[in-house]
Amino acid sequence: MKNQEREFEEIVRANRSTIYTVCYMFSNDQDEVADLFQEVLINLWKSLPSFEGRSNIRSWIYRVSLNVCISLSRKKQRHETMPLTMDINPYEETETNQNFKQMDMLRRRIAKLGQYDRAIILLWLENISYEEIAAIMGITVKNVSIRLYRIKEELKKMSND
């Protein structure tokens, strides 16, 4: 058991930014991102014994992370919630958070996409090859190319709004 725990810790340590990025793309609420992150870790832990190594570990982590986030996002859409508000504005105009503001604007536009398209653009933004995106999403490389073109066009239209 200790070997499995150490292996899991190493996997999480090496890929925590990947997991966080996927979770962040499915929510802008810090607490919800933390919940998604924790749920991904639980699912990774449960499915680690069945990981056969047919794909690389990063692809497997993306697949598990995306499946968890999409699944929980669907459940969330079925339940109406009242968000908590804070008096602090983390988006205040300062030089230090200019990049954050641009990333947040992109994230908000991506959040308007469907879940499947959101997953594809996230993988592309992470510099994942079309072949690997196709393997993770279970579609052809040609379909990845076509979908990415359409997604980029959709995001361009949003920038004109």
DSSP code per residue over 70-109: HHHHHHHHHS-------S--TT---GGGHHHHHHHHHHHH
| pLDDT at res. 52 | 81
Q: Contact 20/37 with Cβ under 8 angstroms?
A: yes
| pLDDT at res. 84 | 47
| pLDDT at res. 77 | 65
Task: Quickly tell me which residue has 């925590």 as its tokens.
Answer: 16
User: Among 52, 56, 67, 70, which Cα is nearest to 15's?
Assistant: 56
Q: Whole-angstrom Cα distance, residue 8 to residue 130? A: 27
| pLDDT at res. 78 | 62
pLDDT tens profile 9-39: 999 999 998 899 889 888 878 888 899 999 9
Check pLDDT > 80 for residue 131: yes
Q: Whole-angstrom Cα distance, residue 85 to residue 77? A: 19
Check pLDDT > 90 for residue 143: yes
Q: Whole-angstrom Cα distance, residue 18 to residue 66? A: 11
pLDDT tens profile 44-64: 999 888 888 788 888 899 989
| pLDDT at res. 72 | 83
